[in-house]
Structure 1
Amino acid sequence: MVARWALAAALAFAPTTIAAQDTDADDPYIWLEEIQGERALAKVDQWNADTEAVLTDQPEYPLAKAWAKQILDDTRQIALPDAIQGDMVTNLWRDADNPRGLWRIASLESYMAGAPEWRVLIDVDKLGEDEGQSWVWHGANCLAPDYARCLIALSPGGTDADVVREFDVTTGRFVDGGFTLPEAKSNVAWFDEDTLFVGTDEGEGSLTDSGYPRLVKLWDRGTDFSTARQIAEGEQADISASGFSVLDGDTRWRFVNRSPSFWTNQISLVKADGSTVPLPLPEDAEFEAVLNGLVIAKLNSALETTGGTEQPGALVAWSLQSVLDGSDPAPFAVFRPSDTQAIEEVAASETKLWVKVLDDVSGKLIELSPGQSGWTARDMELPANSTVQIADTSGTGDTAFVTVESMLTPPTLYAVPSEGEAVAIASEPAQFDASKFTVEQKFATSKDGTKVPYYLVRPKDAQGPLPTLIHAYGGFRAAQTPKYLTAEPYRSGPLGLFWVESGNAYVLANIRGGGEYGPRWHEDALREKRQNSFDDFHAVADDLVASRLTTPGHIAASGRSNGGVLVGAVANQRPDLYGAIISGSPLIDMRRYNKLLAGASWMAEYGNPDVREDWAFMREWSPYQNMSDGPDVPAAFYYLSTLDDRVHPGHARKAAAKHEAYGQTFYYHEYREGGHSVGSDHEEDAKRAALLLSYLNREIGKDAD
C-alpha cells in the first residue's frame, strides 16, 4: 500500500502535475509498460511489499487465507467433465497435493454412478518438475470418434501463449515424433487423424495487429511445418483466423473462420481437398453448433428467413449440404427467446440441441428436437431460480451434463437425459450455514429509465445500512450469473462468502454490456454508448443508498479485465459514492490499450482511440485520463499478473503510479505468474482472497471510519 504519507517518496520519480495525457508524449509513466524492465519490476516489488506489510498484519488475514485454502483444496469438489469422449469422461483435478492438476480419465458408466474409477493421464505438477517448467494446463483437444489422440496445450506460467504436443490416451504418453508446436498463441485443431489445421507465429506477417494467427494451414503428419499448405488467410487488421471441425453423426464437417473484428466472423466450409465454400451466415451471427447436417447460429441482427423476419437473439439454421451443392440454403428459425430471455449456451448431443436460457438472469435448460413440422422445445425439470451451466453433452445418446447452483446453494452436477428424469451425479458440500443469509433480486432504474437487475446477499435480520461490495462486468456479451459464494467472480475464490460472513452485504449487478438480455443488452453499452454501463452501476449503488441498505463511502466497486474500465470510470465519476474499488487484471489506459498486447482486438467493443471521432467519446470515460489529484478518491486495490499476455500489466502499473504521485491511498499486488487469470494455483488464490478481505475491512468496513 502507498498512502498519503508516501507523497514525498513519490516526488522522487514523478512530477507533481500530471498532463492531460491525450498523447503518448504526455504520459510520464510509459516506462512502466516495459513488462520485465528492471526499473518497472523494482517499483512493482516495492508496491507489493508495501501492500503486504499493511494487509497481512490485519488480524483477519491469516484466518481468511487458511479458510480460503481449505475451501479451494476441498477434495469433495465436483469432478466436472472436461469432455465426454464416447464411453469415457476426462477431468482436470486440482487439490492441495496437485496444485497444477491431474488430467485423468474414467468410464462414463462409473462416472454417472457417482463412483468414477480414474486413471491419471498427465500429472501436470510432475511434468513441470521433470521438465523444469512452470506448466499451467490449457486443455486437451481429442479427435472424435475414437478420442485416442489428443492435442495437449500447456502454458509456461499461465500466459495465453502455450506449447502444443500430441498425446496418446491408450499408452498414456506423448507421441514420439508426433505433432508439436513451440510456444505461441496458436490456433490448432484436427482436420483428420494425420492432418491438423494450424495457425501460429511464423514470424513477420503471420500474425494480426492483435497478435493472433492470420494464416490457416494444413499440416500433414511426418512433414516439416514449413511444407504446410495454406488454405485461408485474414488481413493484418483482423483479429484472427482459425480452422476447426465438428463431428455430426458419422460426418466430419470442417470449417475455417476469419474474424475481421471481435464481433464479426466469415466462416467457410472446407472440402476434403482443402478448398473452401463460404457459409451464408451473417457476419455478426454466432456459430453455435452442427446437428443433422445443419449449421445453427445465434442472430445479433434481424434476418429474413422462410418464416419471416427473425429478431436478434434467435437461433437459425442452414443446410450444410446445400452449401456444398452450390445452392442458396434458405435459413429457418429453430428457437425464439422471449423478451425477458437470452440464449447463453448451446450444445448438441447425438440428435438433440440443448439450450441454456437466462430468464431475468435465472437459468433454464431447454431441449430442442428437430421434426417434420419444425423444432419442438421442452423445458427440463431442474431447480428453479438457479444458475444453470452446460458442462458437456454426450456424443452418443442424448444426455446433457449441467451444474445447478445459487448464491446460497452449492453446485450439483446433473445428468439430464432426453428421456427420463434428471439424475444428480455429484454435489459439493455446503461451506457455510446458508440459513444465516437472504438473497433477493432487485431492480434499479438507470439514468435513461432502463430497469437494471441485481442480486443482493446480506445477513438475515440485518439492522441498518451495511458496508456493501458490488461486483459487475458490463461488456463483451458476458452475462454475470449468481454462483455459490465460495466461487464468486474475483479469481480469488471465496471473497464474497468472507464478506457476508463478516456481517456485510454483497451485490452482483447485471449492468448493460453483458448478455443478460441478449444482443440489445450488449449493444446498449458499445462504443459511444459505454456510459450506459457506468450509469447502470451508479443506479444500483444509488438504489441501495435510497433503500437505506448502505451509505455513500461504504460501497466498494469490483470488476476484472473489462471490469477495470468499469470500476475506474465509476470511481472517477462518483467519488462521493464509492469508498473503494477492486480492479483485477484491468484495462485502464484507453488511449493506448490498442497498442498493448491483445488490445487491438477489442476496438469493436470500445472504439479506436487513434480515430479522432472515437477518442472524443472515449476520452470522456477512459479511467487513466480522468484520474484526479483530489484527496477524497476511492482507495483502489489493483491485482494482476506480470505474465498476463492479454491485458497488459502496464495499465494497473501506470494507474498506481498516478495514485502515488497524487499522494492517494492505494494497494497493489502483482503476481509474477498466472497469466490473465492471475493465480496459477490455489495458494495464490487464497492469499489474494485474504488480502482483499483485509483491504475491504480497512477501507469500507464497519470500523473503517
Structure 2
Amino acid sequence: MPKITYPETRRDDVVEQQFGEAIADPYRWLENDVRNDREVADWVERENRVSRAYLDGLPQRAWFADRMRELLGYERFGLPVKAGPYYFYTRNSGLQNQAQLFVRKGLHGTPRLLLDPNAWAKDGATALDAWEPSDDGRHLLYSVQDGGSDWRILRVRDVATGAALADEVRWAKFTNLAWAGNEGFLYSRFPEPAEGTAFQGLNYNQAIYYHRLGTPQARDELVYATPDHPDYSHSVQVTHDGRLAVITSATGTDARYELRVIDLAHRARDGWKARALVTGFTDDWKLVEGAGEKLWFVTNWQAPRYRLVGIDLAKRDAGWSELVAEREDILEKGDIVGDQLILNYLHDAASHALVYGLDGRKARDLTLNGIGTASGFRGRPGDPETFYSFTSFNQPSAVYRLNLTTGHSEPFAEPALTFDPAAFVVEQRFYSSRDGTRIPMFIVRAKAAAKARRALPTLLYGYGGFDISLTPTFSSQRMAWLEAGGAFAMANIRGGGEYGREWHDAGRGANKQNTFDDFIAAGEFLIAEGITPRGGLAIQGGSNGGLLVGAVVNQRPDLFAAANAQVGVMDMLRFDRFTAGRYWVDDYGYPDREADFRVLRAYSPYHNIRSGVKYPAMLVTTADTDDRVVPGHSFKYAAALQAADLGDKPRLIRIETRAGHGSGKPTDKAIEEGADTLAFLAEWTGLALPEAKVGGFDVQKKAN
C-alpha cells in the first residue's frame, strides 16, 4: 500500500494541572460539535478523504461488501406482540434499510403494513425504535430515531385505519413506552436543551410524564420527578392488567435501583401518588409482572446471581417472599405467561430457559438449539402462547411459538440461508488471565480448519463493562470473515455480567485493569493454542469495547496485527463532561477525585499512546451524530495516533455521517462500514480470500 499522508491537525497549547500532574490536551478543539464548528467539519472531511482513498484501494473490500449483501438478503422477522385481536411484528425483506412493522388480525390473518420507516428519510437514516400497542390493540405508540441520535420522537397510529394521530412528544430519551389505560401513556423525558447543545450537553432532570391522546405535549401531566436530585434518572412500566405503574430510579449506569409504585386504580382520587417500595440504591430489581396488587421481580438482593421474589401490596407491612431461589447460573429475566413462569438463565454466557409454576415449582426445561442466545418470552397472564427467538454465531435469529398447554415449540419464522451453518463449529474454551482467573471464550471457525488444527487469521471481540453480558449472536459481518477463511473469538472478560455482581465488580473502577489483562490473555491464548498465527490477530470492540481496544493496544502493541476501535470512550479524564457520560462514573470512577484520577490516567487511551513504539494497523470508527459517546473522543484519539511515531502501519479514522452510536443504522451504511473494516483487518492479518468453497459459497468466483 502507498505511504499515507495524514491531514495536518492543529495542536493547541492546552495544559491543565490535575492533582499535581500537568495534563496536555492539544486537540481539545476537536471536542466541538461538528455541526456547529466549521474547522472541525473541515478536519472530518479531510480525514475521511484520506481514509476513503486507502480503504477503496483494499483488494478484499468489494468481496466483503458483496458477500455481506448476500448474507443479509433473507427475510427477517421480529418477535410478535399480541394486543386485542391483533398480532404486531417487524419484518425486513432482506436489504431494506429499516425493518417495517406489520399487523395481522389473528395469528394467521393477512399481514398489513402499518409503519414503513424506509419512507421517512431519503438516506434511510430515520428508524423505528421502540413500539407498543395499547392493551385493546386500537393504537400503536412508537418512537422515532433520526440519524442515530439517542433523542426520540414519540408518535401514535390508529391501527384499524393506519392513520397517524396528531400526537407528538419530543425530547424523550432513555424511555420506556407504557400505556396507562387505552387513552394515554407514560414516558420519560428531559427538559428541552438550550439551542446548540442537544448533541453534547449533559443530561439532567429526567422526569416521567403522562400524555393523554388528542392533547398537545404542553398539557402533559408531570408524574414523577426529583428536582432536588437532578442526576437521578427515572423509567416507568405498567403491569399487563393496567393496575400498577412501577417507577425505577437510578443514579448512574449501575443496576442499583429504587422502586416506587403508583396504583392506577385510585388515580382519580390520589393523583400520581407514588408509594416507595425499595429505597437506597443498593440492588438490581427487574419487574417480571403484576396482577392486582401482587408484583414479582428478579433481583440480586441477598442473591448475587439473582432470584425470583414477590410481594403482595394489599397486605399491611407486606414483605418480600422468595419464589425461586438463587442458582449457580445467572437468572437474567423472567416472564409470566398464561399461568406459568418462564425464567431465562445464563450458563457460561449461553442461554437456557426453565418453566415454573406460579408456586415456584419447576415444571420443565425448555430445549434450545445448542449454544446460543434465547430472548423474548413476552406475554401476559392468561395467554395460551408466547414467542421467543434463538440465535448463535452460525445461526441467524429464528422465531418460535411456544404452546404453553402442551409445552411444544414450533417455528413461526425461520430464515432461508445463503450459507451452511454445519460448515462451522462453535466451541467454548476457558483460559487463565494474568491473576489466574478462569475466563470463558467462544471460538468459531470452519469445521475443516478446526479438525486440521490450522491456524487462521482471527478477529477477537470484547466488551467487559457495565454489567453487560456478551452472548452468542449472528452477525453477517462475522460470517463474511469466517467464510473468507478467518476465525472469530469472543472473550467474556471481567466487567461484564456473565457471572453476576462479582464478575462486574472485578472489572470496573480500581479493578478496571483486570478487564484489559483478561483481553490480552485471550490474545495470548489464541496464539499459544495455534488457533491464530503470531501476526494474524485482529481485535475489535465498540463503546466501552472501543476503550478496551485503545487501552490494550497501548499496553501490548506487539500482540496485535490490527485493531478496530468503534465509537470508543478514549479520553478518560473528560468523559463525564458530555451527554450521558456523567452516568458512567459508576463503572469508571470520578475524574475529579484523586484516587479515581490515578486509575483513569493510567489507562486512558488518549493519554497513554507510546510514541517510538511500533503499533498495529489502527482503524478508528465513529459517527457525527453519536450523542452517547460523542465523536470528539475518537477525533482526539485519532489525531494523537497520527501525530505520534508509531511505525509504518496505517492509523486511520472513518467518520460516518447521519449515524450515531449504532442503533438505527440503515442496512446500506452497515454494509459499507463492515466491508471497510473487514478489508482493513484482512489486509493486516494476512487473510487472503480462499480458492475453495466455504459454507456453500464459491469464494474465488466472487472474488473475481
TM-score range, shorter chain: 0.7 to 0.9
Contact 1:344 1:515 (C-alpha < 8 Å) held by counterparts: no
Q: In the aligned structure 2, how far is the partner of 1:405 from the partner of 1:127? A: 30
Q: Which among 77, 91, 94 is matched to residue 93 of structure 1?
A: 91
2:447 is the alignment partner of 1:457: no
Question: In the alignment, what sits opposite 1:672?
Answer: 657
Q: What amino acid does structure 1 have at the position aligned with 2:375?
A: Q
Q: In the aligned structure 1, how far is the partner of 2:211 from the partner of 2:367? A: 46
Question: In the alignment, what sits opposite 2:694?
Answer: none
Task: Identify if the C-alpha distance between structure 1 residues 671 and 411 changes in structure 2 by more than 3 Å, giving closer, same or farther.
Answer: same
Question: In the alignment, what sits opposite 1:181?
Answer: 169
Q: Which among 215, 233, 241 is matched to residue 240 of structure 1?
A: 233
Q: In the aligned structure 2, how far is the partner of 1:397 from the partner of 1:690? A: 44
Question: In the alignment, what sits opposite 1:535?
Answer: 517
Contact 2:627 2:660 (C-alpha < 8 Å) held by counterparts: yes
Task: Identify if the C-alpha distance between structure 1 residues 212 and 348 changes in structure 2 by more than 3 Å, giving closer, same or farther.
Answer: farther
Contact 1:186 1:212 (C-alpha < 8 Å) held by counterparts: no
CA deviation after TM superposition for structure 1 residue 245, in Å: 1.4
Q: In the aligned structure 1, how far is the partner of 2:156 from the partner of 2:150? A: 19
What SS does the aligned partner of 1:6 have? coil
Question: In the alignment, what sits opposite 1:376?
Answer: 362
CA deviation after TM superposition for structure 1 residue 630, in Å: 2.7
1:38-437 equivalent positions in 2, closer than 5 A: 38-74=38-74, 76-77=75-76, 79-81=77-79, 83-95=81-93, 98-110=96-108, 117-128=110-121, 135-144=126-135, 146-176=136-166, 179-185=167-173, 187=175, 189-203=178-192, 210-211=202-203, 213-221=205-213, 223=215, 225-234=217-226, 235-248=228-241, 251-263=242-254, 264-271=256-263, 272=267, 273-280=271-278, 283=281, 284-292=283-291, 293-302=293-302, 310-322=303-315, 327-339=316-328, 341-371=329-359, 374-390=360-376, 392-393=378-379, 396-420=382-406, 421-437=408-424
Unaligned runs of 5+ in 2: 690-704
Q: In the aligned structure 2, how far is the partner of 1:697 from the partner of 1:638? A: 15
Task: Identify if the C-alpha distance between structure 1 residues 122 and 661 changes in structure 2 by more than 3 Å, giving closer, same or farther.
Answer: same
Q: In the aligned structure 1, how far is the partner of 2:300 from the partner of 2:572? A: 26
2:10 is the alignment partner of 1:13: yes
Unaligned runs of 5+ in 1: 111-115, 303-309, 488-493
Q: What amino acid does structure 2 have at the position aligned with 1:254?
A: A
Contact 2:311 2:319 (C-alpha < 8 Å) held by counterparts: yes
Contact 1:407 1:482 (C-alpha < 8 Å) held by counterparts: yes
2:439 is the alignment partner of 1:448: no
* CA RMSD of superposed structures (Å): 3.1
CA deviation after TM superposition for structure 1 residue 648, in Å: 0.5
2:614 is the alignment partner of 1:632: yes
Question: In the alignment, what sits opposite 2:550?
Answer: 568
Task: Identify if the C-alpha distance between structure 1 residues 543 and 439 changes in structure 2 by more than 3 Å, giving closer, same or farther.
Answer: same
1:470-509 equivalent positions in 2, closer than 5 A: 470-484=460-474, 487=475, 494-509=476-491
Contact 2:576 2:583 (C-alpha < 8 Å) held by counterparts: yes
Question: In the alignment, what sits opposite 2:693?
Answer: none
Which has the higher mean CA deviation after the structures are superposed, 587-596 or 288-297?
288-297
Contact 1:314 1:333 (C-alpha < 8 Å) held by counterparts: yes
Contact 1:81 1:391 (C-alpha < 8 Å) held by counterparts: no
What SS does the aligned partner of 1:197 have? strand
Q: In the aligned structure 2, how far is the partner of 1:633 from the partner of 1:164? A: 46
Q: In the aligned structure 2, how far is the partner of 1:165 from the partner of 1:105? A: 17
Q: In the aligned structure 1, how far is the partner of 2:17 from the partner of 2:127? A: 41
Task: Identify if the C-alpha distance between structure 1 residues 652 and 389 changes in structure 2 by more than 3 Å, giving closer, same or farther.
Answer: same
Contact 2:71 2:417 (C-alpha < 8 Å) held by counterparts: no
Task: Identify if the C-alpha distance between structure 1 residues 663 and 405 changes in structure 2 by more than 3 Å, giving closer, same or farther.
Answer: same
Q: What amino acid does structure 2 have at the position aligned with 1:105?
A: V
Contact 1:404 1:413 (C-alpha < 8 Å) held by counterparts: yes
CA deviation after TM superposition for structure 1 residue 313, in Å: 1.8
What SS does the aligned partner of 1:289 have? strand
CA deviation after TM superposition for structure 1 residue 311, in Å: 4.7
Deviations 1:535-575 (A, max 9, x none): 11112111122223224432111111110111111111111
Task: Identify if the C-alpha distance between structure 1 residues 96 and 599 changes in structure 2 by more than 3 Å, giving closer, same or farther.
Answer: same
What SS does the aligned partner of 1:416 have? strand
CA deviation after TM superposition for structure 1 residue 4, in Å: 6.8
Task: Identify if the C-alpha distance between structure 1 residues 138 and 17 changes in structure 2 by more than 3 Å, giving closer, same or farther.
Answer: closer
CA deviation after TM superposition for structure 1 residue 260, in Å: 2.3
Question: In the alignment, what sits opposite 1:306?
Answer: none
Q: In the aligned structure 1, how far is the partner of 2:4 from the partner of 2:14? A: 18
Contact 1:72 1:95 (C-alpha < 8 Å) held by counterparts: no
Q: In the aligned structure 1, how far is the partner of 2:204 from the partner of 2:132? A: 19
Deviations 1:45-68 (A, max 9, x none): 222222221222222211221221
Q: What amino acid does structure 1 have at the position aligned with 2:107?
A: E
Deviations 1:619-648 (A, max 9, x none): 222211111213411222122211111110
Question: In the alignment, what sits opposite 1:307?
Answer: none
Which has the higher mean CA deviation after the structures are superposed, 197-206 or 673-682?
197-206
Which has the higher mean CA deviation after the structures are superposed, 404-413 or 604-613?
404-413
Q: In the aligned structure 1, how far is the partner of 2:673 from the partner of 2:376? A: 29
Q: What amino acid does structure 2 have at the position aligned with 1:508?
A: M
Question: In the alignment, what sits opposite 1:113?
Answer: none
CA deviation after TM superposition for structure 1 residue 679, in Å: 6.3
Q: In the aligned structure 1, how far is the partner of 2:116 from the partner of 2:182? A: 25
Task: Identify if the C-alpha distance between structure 1 residues 427 and 199 changes in structure 2 by more than 3 Å, giving closer, same or farther.
Answer: closer
Contact 2:168 2:217 (C-alpha < 8 Å) held by counterparts: no
Identity of aligned residues (%): 25
Give TM-score scaled by structure 1 length: 0.87
Contact 1:209 1:600 (C-alpha < 8 Å) held by counterparts: no
Deviations 1:372-408 (A, max 9, x none): xx44352113323332222633664243312223323
Contact 2:253 2:466 (C-alpha < 8 Å) held by counterparts: no
Deviations 1:139-196 (A, max 9, x none): 222221x0212222112222111211222112211124xx321344274533333344
Q: In the aligned structure 2, how far is the partner of 1:429 from the partner of 1:91? A: 18
Q: What amino acid does structure 2 have at the position aligned with 1:157?
A: G
Task: State how many pairs are aligned.
Answer: 665
Contact 2:543 2:569 (C-alpha < 8 Å) held by counterparts: yes
Task: Identify if the C-alpha distance between structure 1 residues 434 and 258 changes in structure 2 by more than 3 Å, giving closer, same or farther.
Answer: closer
What SS does the aligned partner of 2:390 have? strand
Task: Identify if the C-alpha distance between structure 1 residues 49 and 168 changes in structure 2 by more than 3 Å, giving closer, same or farther.
Answer: same
Q: In the aligned structure 1, how far is the partner of 2:663 from the partner of 2:402? A: 34
Task: Identify if the C-alpha distance between structure 1 residues 505 and 222 changes in structure 2 by more than 3 Å, giving closer, same or farther.
Answer: closer
Q: In the aligned structure 2, how far is the partner of 1:470 from the partner of 1:406? A: 17
What SS does the aligned partner of 1:566 have? helix
What SS does the aligned partner of 1:330 have? coil
CA deviation after TM superposition for structure 1 residue 680, in Å: 2.4
Which has the higher mean CA deviation after the structures are superposed, 651-660 or 544-553?
544-553
Q: What amino acid does structure 1 have at the position aligned with 2:366?
A: M
Contact 2:618 2:652 (C-alpha < 8 Å) held by counterparts: yes
